[in-house]
Structure 1
Amino acid sequence: MRSHAIHYLILPGWQGSPAEHWQSHWQRSLPDASRAEQRDWQTPQRADWVATLERHIVAAPGRLILVAHSLGCVTLAHWAAQAAPALLAKVKGALLVAPADVERPGCPAELQNFAPMPTQLLPFPSLLVGSDNDPAATPARALELARQWGAEPVLLAGAGHINVKSGHCRWEQGFAYLYRLQNLIEQHARRLA
C-alpha cells in the first residue's frame, strides 16, 4: 500500500493527546496526517464527539486510516454504528489502541455518557491493541470488544493505558501494528476483488 494515498486521522481520547503523547508524535511523523480536534477535551459529550469525527471524515481527502486511543476508540465505534454507507466507505481501516471501557466500575463520571459501549461489527478492517494491565479496560474486556467490533486483537504485557503515563511517548513499536493493519486492509481488498 502506498502510504501517500492514505490520510491518517488521529482520534485522541479524554483530555486529548499532549505534545509528548505517541499520537502527537505519529501526527508529526506520518505523511498526510491530521487530528480530530474536539471542542471540549475535559467534559466530553458523546453526540458532540461523534459529530466532530463525522465532520473530519467528510472533510478528509480520499481514503482514511483512523488511529484512535482510549475514548477515541469508543467515539469511532459509536460513529460507525450510525454513519452513512458513503462515509463508512472512505474508511479503509482503524487502529484501536487501549479502548476505554466506559461501563467499567469506577469509570470517571465525565465518560459515562458514552455508555452503553457500541457492540456492532466495524465495517472495515481493524486491529485492537490492548494491555494486560490497562486501568481503563481489563484484558477480558479488551478481547470482548475486539470480538464485538470484529477487530484483530493484540494484548501487550505490562503496557498500561499505552499513553505518556505508561511510558509510551513516541511508541515507535506501535508502527508495527499500523503496518499490520495495512496488511489486513490489503488482504480485505484482495478478498473483495
Structure 2
Amino acid sequence: MSAHKLNVLVLPGYQNSGPGHWQTRWEALDPAFLRVQMPDWDYAARDAWCRTLDAAVTAADSPVVFAAHSLGCLTTAFWASQYTNAAQLAKVAGALLVAVPDPSEAHFPQDASGFAPVPLTRLPFASIVVASSDDPYGGVPFSQKCASAWGSRWIDIGPRGHINADSGLGDWDEGRRWLASLGE
C-alpha cells in the first residue's frame, strides 16, 4: 500500500505552516493530504490539539498516515499514548515526525501548554523521526531519545534548522518518499 492510497493527515506545529512550508506544498500537490485544523494555532493546548486529531482520525474513511511537524509530532505522541483507543489506532499506518521540539528548550513556545513531559512510550504504528543537526527547538540527543522510545527510525538530514520553509527544502521529495514508505 502506498501513501497515495491513504489519507495523509497533515499536522503542522505552533502557528501553522505557511505557503513555503513543505507541508503546505505537499497539500497543493496531492488532494489526499488533509490539514488537521487546530482550534487555535497561536495558543497550542495539548488537550484541544489531541482531541482535534482524534476527531480527524475518526472522520477518515480509510487508513491514514501522519505528516507531522514540530508540535504536530508531540501531538501525535500524546494522542497515541493517552487520547485514543485500539480501533482508532488500527486506522493509522504510520507517522513521519519531523523536527520534534523539546519542551525544555528555551525556544519552546510559551503559548504551548501541556506538552511536557513528552510521552516516551512505543508508538503503536510505524514511524520515522527526521531531525536537523542545528534545530533550535530540539537537539539531536532529544530527537534520538524520542525516536528510540517511540520505536521510530531516526534520520538526521544535517544542518537544516527547524525543517520548515526557511530550510529551503521546496517540495521535499525525500520526505515524501519516507512518508510513502510508511504505507507500504
TM bracket, shorter-chain basis: over 0.9
- For 2:8, the aligned partner's letter is Y
- Once residues 181 and 107 of structure 1 are traced to their aligned partners in structure 2, the CA distance between those partners, rounded to angstroms, is 28
Tell me what 2:74 maps to.
74
Tell me what 2:30 maps to.
30
Alpha-carbon shift at residue 124 of structure 1 (Å): 0.3
State the superposition RMSD in angstroms: 1.5
Tell me what 1:172 maps to.
173
Partners of 1:132 and 1:155 within 8 A in 2: yes
- For 1:134, the aligned partner's letter is D
Tell me what 1:163 maps to.
164
Partners of 1:46 and 1:114 within 8 A in 2: yes
Alpha-carbon shift at residue 111 of structure 1 (Å): 2.4
Partners of 1:127 and 1:153 within 8 A in 2: yes
Query: What pairs up with 1:1-193 in 2 under 5 angstroms?
Result: 1-82=1-82, 83-182=84-183, 186=184
- For 1:157, the aligned partner's letter is G
Partners of 2:102 and 2:142 within 8 A in 1: yes
- For 1:87, the aligned partner's letter is Q
- Once residues 2 and 106 of structure 1 are traced to their aligned partners in structure 2, the CA distance between those partners, rounded to angstroms, is 36
Partners of 2:137 and 2:162 within 8 A in 1: yes
Structure 1, unaligned stretches of length 5 or more? 187-193
Alpha-carbon shift at residue 107 of structure 1 (Å): 2.4
- For 1:149, the aligned partner's letter is W
Identity, in percent, stands at 39
- Once residues 43 and 71 of structure 1 are traced to their aligned partners in structure 2, the CA distance between those partners, rounded to angstroms, is 11
Structure 2, unaligned stretches of length 5 or more? none
Structure 1 pair 35–106 and aligned structure 2 pair: CA distance change class (3 A): closer
- For 1:89, the aligned partner's letter is A
* Secondary structure class of the residue paired with 1:154: strand
Q: How many residues of Structure 1 are paired with residues of Structure 2 in the alignment?
A: 183
- Once residues 154 and 137 of structure 2 are traced to their aligned partners in structure 1, the CA distance between those partners, rounded to angstroms, is 16
Structure 1 pair 138–2 and aligned structure 2 pair: CA distance change class (3 A): closer
Higher relative contact order (CA 8 A, sep 6+): 2
